[in-house]
Structure 1
Amino acid sequence: MSYKLIVSKRLLSTSIGRLNTSSSTSSNVILGKISEFDSSKFNFNIIANDPPSINDINADPIQLALNSSPINTWTKDQIKQIYDTPLYDLIHFSQLQHRKHHNPGEVQLCTLLNIKEGGCTEDCKYCSQSSKNPTGLKASKLLQVDQVMEKARQAAANGSTRFCMGAAWRDMAGRKSNLKRIGEMISTINNELGMETCVTLGMINADQAKILKDAGLTAYNHNIDTSREYYPNIISTRKFDERLQTIQNVQDADIKVCTGGILGMGETSEDHISFLYTLSNMPKHPESLPINKLVSIKGTPLHDELLEIPKDSERHLKFEQVLKTIATARIIMPKSIIRLAAGRYTMKEYEQFICFLAGCNAIFTGERMLTTMCNGWDEDIQMLKNWGLVPMKSFSK
């Protein structure tokens, strides 16, 4: 098996070292110059024996990911080895994985509309829409189809190719008329605008998932939020396994799954690893994986709890933890679309750029998220232009 890689001088020694230890037998590395010597690049071929086997417990997990089909049997130890890789190397390998499975010049532009705001009976500690959290947000009724279409047309005109709709409900029990109206929203957007559609409506059963599928829904969002271990610290009104059951109902209906979580809720790096473990061991990896960076909202319990955590604690989210989570997700879930979601507006442009280098290839853009700020279309189009990137077309993945 032959490989051809271009690497920087700084990465040359570490890359060769990893490649030479990726199997039980040694590999031969042959260096040669590209026409005239270029001090920043080397051209080399790696002539290797068989790629590492998934059954080889001693295999380097990064090389295992790079040389295998998507794996759904990752261990937490393997994921931790990847997550703990020095960041410079980690981003290098995540970029290799990204370019292997995606067009690196394309970014999916998604717009999110809150079609039913507030009044949710869940007790999520981070959420301004919970009726249990005194944030001053008033509950609203479900929007009409023409109101949604006005926003969808605006999003399409500004380059968005996936239109996402969120309703603050715990579940869809007893909401047949609302589900019918949402189905009409989905089919109208599909037929008139040719956009991908996504909804997040809380827990749904198999019959409700089939109704959404028949309406033409592209994807259903249902985040697992955090690790299984940390989850009880954030929510008590819905069990972690109930979230997984909804995801299974969506997959059984042949709807794409959009599921991810929120970083910065007081969790640790071990929780990031466990969070990725749950997602990467699903029978089918998520079609899209939103990474949210918590926007702490006054009136939510989590807002006050985070203020009490010492500033030097690992439980205070650092940017490198965001990067490690994204890069690790890209390596172990190579075909998933990884989306920078809520909280992106708090990032500097160069930080977003590094997130894209680490494997992100989608963003939310538009007027707002559900209840928090969002980077605008004009700003994002200019940003992508600066980077040489273009919007991904609908239904191209």
Structure 2
Amino acid sequence: MITTLDRKLLRDIGGMKGQVLVVSLVMACGVAMMIVSQSVILSLERTRDSYYQRYRMPDVFGQVKSAPLSLSDRLSHIPGVATVELRVVESALLDMEGVQEPVRARLVSLPDEGKLNLNQIFLRRGRLPGAGAQREAVVSEAFAQAHGLQIGDRITAILNGHRDHLDICGIGLSPEFVFEAPPGQTLPDNKHYGVFWLRYQSLAAAFDLEGAFNDFCMDLSPGTPPKEVIEEVDQMLLTYGAPGAYALSDHASSKRLGDELRIVRALSLAYPMVFLCVAAFMVNSVTSRLVRLQREQIAQLKALGYTSWQVGRHYLNYALVIVAAGAAVGIIAGWRLGHTMLSVYTLLFHFPELQFQLDQKALVMALVVSVAAAVLGVAGAVWLAVKLSPAEAMRPEPPA
């Protein structure tokens, strides 16, 4: 049932709809920013964790100059080590048609027999290199898209100073290269840098590393601290020119994604609070001015029997209307902007699938914070209306 005060509220809002619209839009910006940032964090974290788990992202990484494959048993028997993958990882130059600048490739070996235990490849198209295949390779999806590569294409490569070729048999992704950037660079350059996966024997023979490895990764048992394993691995590989193993948190790709999440997490608090604080100030200005202009109406309402609580609640409703309008616009804008922002991240981070997931906790938090900001902003004006007595309100407000 619509009361007299409700009709007055609707009439007053209609008379100052411009001010209400502006304040609501400022509040909507705060709500939208909170929903966007928290939902992007949730989407990236869940996608990363699921991808790492399903495709076996290792816990420890390291390099050596050259070490025999026979060390596999000793590394596997280190307490806490569940799986060891010994690889050959080398760099090569590619001769890409139509590209003047040097194009670098990171070549990663795959086991000659059996399936890949760690850093498993998600194949977008094609297949893995065949057993015993000399120059078949899977290429990273970002590099393939940048050059328009297809299954069956042949690329000229300089392997260990010798001109050779790579035949594309598959296009895929690996959790090890979610962020695919050249070493030492902060942004990806898919036109001039790509990752290729070849069979071990083919890659080892090209770089004179038969029966040896120069890169390794390890999966640890649940609950095993990486630090203790890293210390023992470094001690074991010291004579083979190992610069030092490192944990997943220090891996270049994982660290870049983690840094991005920390930045977004910090902005998810700073930016919304700025908009909501401004909105609270504007709510206070609008309602305080309204109360001063309606001193006589407040006196008449109280003289007619309306209690101070009823009058105060009436002016509090102005803030709630602003919150309702701002929250509705903010939720819709946050949903749409979240999809747009996540699509931008697909240019930096490469997952098999990256879908926007609305953070319902952030939605509730945004509503609570916006209501709190509006109530805080209107509190002074409500108190001004509550404390006015009818006799005092009938007189003009004394000058400051």
**Greater fraction of residues in helix:** 2
TM-score interval (norm. to shorter)? under 0.3
Which structure has more relative contact order (CA 8 Å, sep 6+)? It is 2
Q: TM-score, normalised by structure 1?
A: 0.23
Give the greater-gyration-radius structure (CA): 2
Q: TM-score, normalised by structure 2?
A: 0.23
